[in-house]
Structure 1
């Protein structure tokens, strides 16, 4: 997408005023404002909400680019952003230096204190966090001896080491209330290291009652095949390898876990959709993108690609697990497969990002990612600005204990497996009174039924409402970029 730099009317007016003072200082104004002028020109051209750009004063154009760019955004635009090129290069091509865990901060789930806690969502294999014994579902209640808060939670991402206090909830046998165990655990994370967060976090085949169910935890839609970066191409090749294994295993149902997937690149979504859709849909439109009324020449569509037919699972239905951070290309997957197959959603309401963003490289040291188009499916539908509400609502933050992703006892996976088998998910929070689960089968040995009450197999729900705050996932920029030639 070609970009031109030109003088705006504001610049010409100011330049005229400067030269009329006797000394032509136009070059000074141009030099000091050219970066902001470049940004303004791009936004007035391709920004989806260009008609809602606020009117700026001439002095605004002297602000640093990271302060100027937000001034141009429509009041409802939560997504467009500017990134320095070094930061963008690091995010896209280099392994981040990290402790290897993601967390979300919330109020105390037990209600016994007024403090905040950080719950571990994910731990990377081989990471400093894993080496220190941190597990998914752990509660961090203190960082370097201080109570957890949104202001110090950044210390959980990277650094030379950090000391943590871990606490565990339990049900008080006397009162029945959920409280913290009196014993805490102290751990020290070693220094952060460079690590790769492979988007294919878990892939496995689960056999249940004669059915083979594919399960994939997919955490980011990496760049598409049109990009020249070899690392990103390798991710696309890995996707094909993963689905080749699913196909060879004879998978006939599929659970796609997008609970921690904020999105990514649309060509990656196109490829994944082509692997999951019914084979009869290959070659049909997957999604189309509509730009603002000035740039209708940029409108285009992506089709479900027949070149992946040898990897396609030819599914008639799909089960998707959604979470607090399911957004953008993940929501595009839900919306754009619905014209061709039954898409079943379980978890919590998705973010509601029905727009796409374009990466625009500047001739300076920054990159902008403005919202440039609305995403539609083959039926012309794009009505998910408020997110997709799941058929069965289950908020994993409201339960303990947790298991590793991929463990069949894990809350959302266990409930989804029940749904796949035709049962109502036992932990669904929005089941109506007219909907009753099927009668369970008799145990194989009815004379000696298993009456154990392992708390881990029957998750306990907190009685108080939780308000998520700071999250390492929300700090990540994963744009749904449209890759143009």
Structure 2
């Protein structure tokens, strides 16, 4: 798969490249001496760390308050991490640039399922609930389903003390004691006599998990489950470039428009972020009363980068605008509202959608408080040192909407609180109109309490962790704005 490299960052990376190997023209504080400078052979970490230092001094959002470097021959991961300021939860170094790009595009070695961990009441035992299964994955082929659960991985009971290390084993072939709800007995029963064996493959996940149209009391409601922002493999038609996933979004919204969708529910509960190019694409399909060229959001950088682009390209450079989409359904939305399903795993570019569309329409948040990330990154590699395979993903920008709003570092608080696990972690299938969060959205649209949520009960288990927040792509907002016109 290819990453879109937009024109604006071709310029930016060319600017950065002049600093990637040698020191900056401006005066720099000297790095601490190597821990052992008696060796005649230069430690390869030195050249890598000089590159890291130069890049960070030029593009890092908090470059003025960046921490002092540690020893120049330190391990690059440690060197990079030592530079980060306290408020930076997001900047990352990765051992291989190409693998970094794959992970951000949803390509990784896995069995193909996501989970929520819960602690058994009054016990240290932990169990996992499958929240969704990825199409054509080993988990899908094995017949696993949402709401299946397991207590053991490779025959070992999951506990509060071992779940973190034990979950690392699912990156390789593994077995699970899958239990499925027997609707007649109301009990979760072991699926088969033997544990389910799962292989792992390099899976290219499609971020579009589900789309459908519902007719409820003569009202047409569109529903889209979108799990991360990525354009997908590049498709080329004459002079027009598309990403396969963004193209699929256009096809979905064409169907929404054709079927007369009057209200839209956008399910971002599992969406931890991704490429801003796809956020622009999606927002341009949804926004009400928008025109091509209207401001979606704008970015601010550190003083050095801000001044450089201001001088070279003027103030318009920082503005990211909606693009023309004939598939846009905004003006069909009768209430002028967008209903967004959220959780603590809703982050980054998902929050950009909420913040960027708010000046144009009423965005109704249903679910849990979002993660809180209003800053963006770019991927950077060292193109001059073939021995340096590292990829950097530093925070370089902060985003603001049309109304200059950017203060959501503690997340967006829901207008309607909802929790898919409220019925004692018993999950209905996504797209079922009785599924708790979707049901709450339908009730909000209809302006009634339909009784669909009457089966909610007090949660008897405690949430421990979830796999979405451990995805490498979680919390990433990758600056990328290709021209899809």
Please report the TM-score for the alignment, with normalisation by the length of structure 2.
Answer: 0.81
Give the distance between the partners of 2:23 and 2:236, measured in 1 at CA. Answer: 33
1:395 — aligned with what?
419
Determine helix, strand or coil for the equivalent of 2:303: coil
Give the distance between the partners of 2:401 and 2:294, measured in 1 at CA. Answer: 11
Give the distance between the partners of 1:459 and 1:414, measured in 2 at CA. Answer: 11
Matched, 1:220 2:228: yes
1:245 counterpart (252, 255, 259): 255
2:111 touches 2:138 (CA, 8 Å); kept in 1? yes
Number of aligned residues: 434
Give the distance between the partners of 1:224 and 1:337, measured in 2 at CA. Answer: 23
Determine helix, strand or coil for the equivalent of 2:339: strand
Matched, 1:99 2:107: no
1:285 touches 1:301 (CA, 8 Å); kept in 2? yes
1:70 — aligned with what?
81
2:400 — aligned with what?
376
Cα shift at 1:163:
3.4
1:303 — aligned with what?
321
Determine helix, strand or coil for the equivalent of 1:264: strand
Q: Which structure 2 residue ranges, 5 or more long, are not aligned?
A: 1-11, 310-316
Q: Bigger shift: 386-395 or 99-108? A: 99-108
Cα shift at 1:159:
2.2
Determine helix, strand or coil for the equivalent of 2:477: coil
Give the distance between the partners of 1:266 and 1:411, measured in 2 at CA. Answer: 29
Give the distance between the partners of 1:65 and 1:350, measured in 2 at CA. Answer: 32
2:23 — aligned with what?
7
Give the distance between the partners of 2:219 and 2:187, measured in 1 at CA. Answer: 41
1:49 touches 1:292 (CA, 8 Å); kept in 2? yes
Cα shift at 1:357:
1.1
1:279 — aligned with what?
289
The one-character-per-residue Cα deviations of 1:25-67 (angstroms, maximum 9, x if unpaired) are: 7x937x541111111111111111112211234x2x2122222
Cα–Cα, structure 1 residues 425 and 54, in superposed 2: closer, same or farther, change >3 Å?
A: farther
2:204 counterpart (182, 196, 208): 196
Cα shift at 1:470:
5.0
2:465 — aligned with what?
469
- Which protein, 1 or 2, shows the higher relative CO under an 8 Å CA cutoff with sep ≥ 6? 2
1:338 — aligned with what?
358
The one-character-per-residue Cα deviations of 1:440-471 (angstroms, maximum 9, x if unpaired) are: xxxxxxxxxxxxxxxxx82433145x233252
2:357 touches 2:363 (CA, 8 Å); kept in 1? yes
Q: Output aligned runs, 1:305-324, within 5 Å.
A: 305=323, 307-314=324-331, 315=333, 316-324=336-344
Give the distance between the partners of 1:331 and 1:208, measured in 2 at CA. Answer: 29
Pairwise CA RMSD: 3.2
Matched, 1:407 2:432: yes
1:103 touches 1:119 (CA, 8 Å); kept in 2? yes
Matched, 1:482 2:466: no
Cα–Cα, structure 1 residues 199 and 475, in superposed 2: closer, same or farther, change >3 Å?
A: closer
Cα shift at 1:343:
0.5
1:269 — aligned with what?
279
Cα shift at 1:104:
2.5
Cα shift at 1:289:
0.4
Cα shift at 1:396:
1.9
2:349 counterpart (325, 329, 349): 329
1:287 touches 1:378 (CA, 8 Å); kept in 2? yes
The one-character-per-residue Cα deviations of 1:228-258 (angstroms, maximum 9, x if unpaired) are: 9999711221111111111111111100000
Cα–Cα, structure 1 residues 425 and 276, in superposed 2: closer, same or farther, change >3 Å?
A: farther
Determine helix, strand or coil for the equivalent of 1:398: coil
Q: Which structure 1 residue ranges, 5 or more long, are not aligned?
A: 173-179, 429-456
Q: Which has the larger radius of gyration?
A: 1
Cα shift at 1:68:
1.7
Give the distance between the partners of 1:484 and 1:423, measured in 2 at CA. Answer: 40
Determine helix, strand or coil for the equivalent of 1:339: coil
Give the distance between the partners of 1:224 and 1:133, measured in 2 at CA. Answer: 26
Please report the TM-score for the alignment, with normalisation by the length of structure 1.
Answer: 0.81
